[in-house]
């Protein structure tokens, strides 16, 4: 590759990075559906208002790139943690392996950050949620962690266990989004770091998963 080609490749990479970063911020602050590709291009400093379409195709493809960038950075963190606890039979170890790499990643983003709020926006959009799920499932360590967590869950009726997993997912999405929003406003937050906040979430999730189950008959009594 000659010098001219190298410079062009670098410019393209820089442009794509600027668009991804800008889109993540705008989506987090305004909502995914409220932001147009034109707005993203302009805010990213692109003279061509069709830059998003040129580099990514459509909004869904851009969202996939945002998610992929973060998932790829979390994967090595979780992989290392998985290797250290893969023989454990302690439910808390598996919950930590699920939660801690996410919060460690947030710690690397600095301030301000937008990914937690972006993730919450996408999570509650039925058409876009599948993108996050598809990209997350590409991470082998996440799949193995969820499998391990399921293995050491307390015995619960299938529907109850499924509901608690959904609750856990919501906690993992909404807790960091709320913390990030508070930080953006300069409001006080729990913990001096994302890692400390993650520890509090681990406590909450372990308590949720281990809580006793009362049948409807018992509840009526």
3-class secondary structure, 6? helix
* pLDDT score, position 4: 67
Same domain, 188 and 173: yes
CA angle 172, 174, 178 (to 5 degrees): 125
* Residue 219 placed within a domain: no
What are 73's two structure tokens? Answer: 């950075």
Looking at residue 10, which CATH number applies to its domain? 1.10.10
* Residue 141 placed within a domain: yes
Beta carbons of 20 and 66 less than 8 angstroms apart: yes
Beta carbons of 41 and 16 less than 8 angstroms apart: no
* Residue 46 placed within a domain: yes
Model confidence pLDDT, tens digit, residues 92-112: 999 999 999 999 999 999 999
* pLDDT score, position 69: 93
Same domain, 206 and 116: yes
* pLDDT score, position 139: 81
Same domain, 30 and 93: no
Same domain, 12 and 100: no
Same domain, 27 and 87: no
87-119 burial: b if 16+ Cβ within 10 Å, else e: eeeebbbbbbbbbbbbbbbbeeeeeebbbbbbb
d(CA 153, CA 73): 28
Same domain, 97 and 197: yes
Q: Quick one: CA dihedral 151, 157, 162, 166, positive or negative?
A: negative
Profile the chain (221 residues) by mean pLDDT over runs of 10 residues: 69 90 96 92 83 88 93 94 96 97 95 95 86 80 93 93 95 96 96 95 98 67 46
* Residue 220 placed within a domain: no
d(CA 109, CA 107): 6
Alpha-carbon Rg for the chain in angstroms: 20
Same domain, 46 and 94: no
Q: Which domain holds residue 51?
A: 1-57
Total domains in the chain come to 2
* Residue 22 placed within a domain: yes
d(CA 116, CA 67): 11
């Amino acid at each position: 590759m000659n010098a001219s080609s190298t410079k062009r490749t670098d410019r393209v990479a820089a442009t794509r990075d600027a668009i991804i970063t800008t889109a993540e911020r705008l989506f987090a602050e305004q909502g995914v559906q409220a932001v147009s590709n034109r707005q993203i291009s302009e805010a990213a400093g692109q003279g061509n208002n069709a830059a998003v379409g040129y580099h990514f195709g459509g909004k869904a493809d851009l969202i996939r790139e945002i998610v992929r960038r973060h998932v790829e950075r979390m994967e090595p963190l979780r992989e290392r943690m998985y290797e250290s606890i893969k023989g454990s039979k302690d439910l808390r170890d598996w919950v930590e392996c699920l939660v801690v790499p996410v919060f460690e990643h947030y710690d690397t983003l600095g301030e301000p950050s937008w990914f937690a709020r972006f993730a919450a926006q996408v999570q509650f959009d039925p058409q876009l949620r599948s993108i996050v799920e598809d990209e997350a499932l590409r991470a082998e360590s996440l799949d193995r962690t969820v499998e391990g967590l399921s293995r050491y869950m307390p015995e619960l009726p299938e529907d109850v266990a499924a509901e608690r997993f959904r609750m856990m997912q919501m906690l993992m999405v909404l807790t960091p989004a709320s913390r990030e929003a508070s930080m953006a406003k300069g409001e006080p937050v729990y913990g001096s770091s994302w890692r400390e906040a993650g520890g509090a979430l681990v406590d909450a999730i372990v308590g949720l998963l281990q809580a006793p189950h009362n049948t409807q008959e018992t509840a009526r009594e």
